[in-house]
Amino acid sequence: MALLIGRAIVIANPASRKGNRLAERARQLLADSSVECDLVFTERAGHATELALQHAPHYDVIFALGGDGTVMEVAGALAGSDTPIGVLAGGTGNLLARALGIPLSIKQAVPALLSGGEVQIDLGRFESGRRFAIAAGVGIDASMVAETPAWLKRRLGILAYTMMGTRAALRAVLRREFFDVRLTIDGVVHERRAAAVMVANFGAVLGKRITLGPEIRTDDGLLDGCVFSPRTLRDATRIAWRMLRGDFESDPCMLYGRGKEIRVDTTPPQQWQADGELMGTTPFSVVVEPLAVRVLVPKQR
């Protein structure tokens, strides 16, 4: 049964890869579907949060058009409220749109969301109050985010991340760029030598090209800690193959744990990212917010 949406607002980031060009198109598509729609643009970091908090009481849905940073600002603002978010891809990775099966084309996404339904998903919340939907990570994936140049992202989109991620993984193993990690999950401590650490909410990333771990769900009220510890190129190849296939049999180079509170400490300190945004250096702590936000999704086939 299609959702009944009378009034909507699009919060668009004009600085994202496609945001400025697609904002008016999104508004027009909504208007053509008999949805009374307004459009506002962000002007600085954090502005999407302010706009979402300001406008949420007055609209049935808030559509976020931009990269994952813009989407998560809006999602964080709507956490715990009854106002759903509609995700419209306008960035490079578009991780949440891909994970939810939302078409990357605005022309396809708007009618798919209007004729679809909604789900509630967990979010992770850091000590700063900032939230994430997909995953936070240290090591290889943080290097991928840090080292992918803007021009390559504009030209190749998500393929740029895939290329730079492969490069970072090979370099980490060949140059032995490992670090010591202390992963604390609900008070239980795990210590490993690692090349990458993830705190995952969704089980797959990069358009479901890579599965992070076994049975990771976004509606179970838990987060999943994943530690990857390849010592050789053969180890790294085996891990990559298993992640591509979703094969998570017992492996000495892969550690998984699930809980409500996770802390990541590393020696030496490492940069870390959340949903494709660099956040600083370790340590960091995160707690789960169960079923925190309502999200529009296409009709399930």
- pLDDT tens track for 93-139: 788 998 899 999 999 999 999 999 999 999 999 999 999 999 999 98
CA angle 128, 129, 131 (to 5 degrees): 115
How many C-beta neighbours within 10 Å does residue 1 have?
7
| Three-state secondary structure of the chain | CCCCCCEEEEEECCCCCCHHHHHHHHHHHHHHCCCEEEEEECCCCCHHHHHHHHHHHHCCEEEEEECHHHHHHHHHHHCCCCCCEEEEECCCCCHHHHHCCCCCCHHHHHHHHHCCEEEEEEEEEECCCCEECCEEEEEHHHHHHHHCCHHHHHHHCHHHHHHHHHHHHHHHHHCCCCEEEEEEECCEEEEEEECEEEEECCCEECCCCEECCCCCCCCCCCEEEEEECCCCHHHHHHHHHHHHHCCCCCCCCEEEEEECEEEEEEECCCEEEECCEEEEECCEEEEEEEEEEEEEECCCC
Does 132-288 match 7-115 at the fold level? no
pLDDT digits (tens, 9 = 90+) for 24-75: 999 999 999 999 999 999 999 899 999 999 999 999 999 999 988 999 999 9
* 60-81 CB burial, b ≥16 within 10 A, e <16: bbbbbbbbbbbbbbbbbbbeeb
pTM: 0.87
Higher pLDDT, 289 or 232: 289
Percentage of the chain surpassing pLDDT 90?
A: 61
> Which tokens hold the place of 114?
């209007």
Q: What are phi and psi of 144, to 5 degrees?
A: -60, -45
> Which tokens hold the place of 70?
């813009």
How many C-beta neighbours within 10 Å does residue 188 have?
10
Amino acid at 152: L
pLDDT at 182: 97
CATH number attached to the domain at 7-115: 3.40.50.10330
- Please tell me the least confidently modeled range out of 156-165, 236-245, 292-301: 156-165
Average pLDDT score, the chain: 87
Cα–Cα distance measured from residue 153 to residue 173, given in angstroms and rounded to the nearest whole number: 25
pLDDT at 243: 76
**Band of the pLDDT at 262, cuts 50, 70, 90?**
very high
200 in Cβ contact with 207 (< 8 Å): no
Mean pLDDT (whole number) for 277-299: 95
CATH number attached to the domain at 132-288: 2.60.200.40
**Band of the pLDDT at 1, cuts 50, 70, 90?**
very low
**Has residue 264 got a pLDDT over 70?**
yes
Q: Which of 102-106, 208-212, 261-265 has the highest mean pLDDT?
A: 261-265
pLDDT at 91: 83
- Please tell me the least confidently modeled range out of 177-181, 203-207, 216-220, 250-254: 203-207
User: Which of these, 51, 130, 126, lies nearest to 85 by C-alpha position?
Assistant: 51
pLDDT digits (tens, 9 = 90+) for 142-200: 777 776 666 556 665 655 556 656 666 666 666 777 899 999 999 999 999 998 999 99
pLDDT at 233: 83
Token pair 């978010």 is at which residue? 85
Token pair 């399930």 is at which residue? 300
pLDDT at 194: 92
pLDDT at 138: 94
pLDDT at 169: 66
In the chain, what are the domain boundaries? 7-115, 132-288
